[in-house]
Amino acid sequence: MKPHEEWLYKAGNDLDSAKYLLSSPKPLFDIAIYHTQQCAEKSLKAFLAYNAREIDKIHNLKMLAENCMAIDETFNDLIDDCIYLNPYATLYRYPDGDSMPSKATVIEAISVSEKIYNFTRGKINVNS
């Protein structure tokens, strides 16, 4: 697998994990929402890898989208979505913050991360 394919594979697994954890017999909303941020992060990194850019070890989705915008300005369309998902990297992972997102919040986060995933896949497929 090429590096961008590996990033997309992992992003897809994060998206699938979020959906599974949402609908499992014992829904794990706090873990599911974390995977939505991870899906978006890995999707953006896949686009950067596809374009032979260095992949910084950052988790800030807005910054990653801005790095993608340097290659393709249409990534500007994802900035608000990236800002929305950004807090989910840590917000519910530790006991010092909110303890649990609502089901509706997780559903929305899955939808947003899937949008970023599909947008990025489309950009890679268009450029191939």
Q: How much is the average pLDDT of 89-118?
A: 92
Is the confidence at residue 66, as pLDDT, over 90?
yes
Is the confidence at residue 100, as pLDDT, over 60?
yes
Token couple for 78 = 């994802």
Distance CA 69, CA 86 (A): 17
Q: In this predicted structure, what is the pLDDT of residue 88?
A: 96
Q: Are the C-beta atoms of residues 100 and 28 closer than 8 Å to each other?
A: no
Is the confidence at residue 27, as pLDDT, over 90?
yes
Distance CA 34, CA 49 (A): 22
Segment 101-111, tens digit of pLDDT: 999 999 999 99
Gyration radius (Cα) of the chain, Å: 14
Domain at 3-127: CATH code: 1.20.120.330
Segment 46-57, tens digit of pLDDT: 999 999 999 989
Q: In this predicted structure, what is the pLDDT of residue 84?
A: 98
Distance CA 97, CA 77 (A): 29
Domain residue ranges in the chain: 3-127
Q: In this predicted structure, what is the pLDDT of residue 126?
A: 52
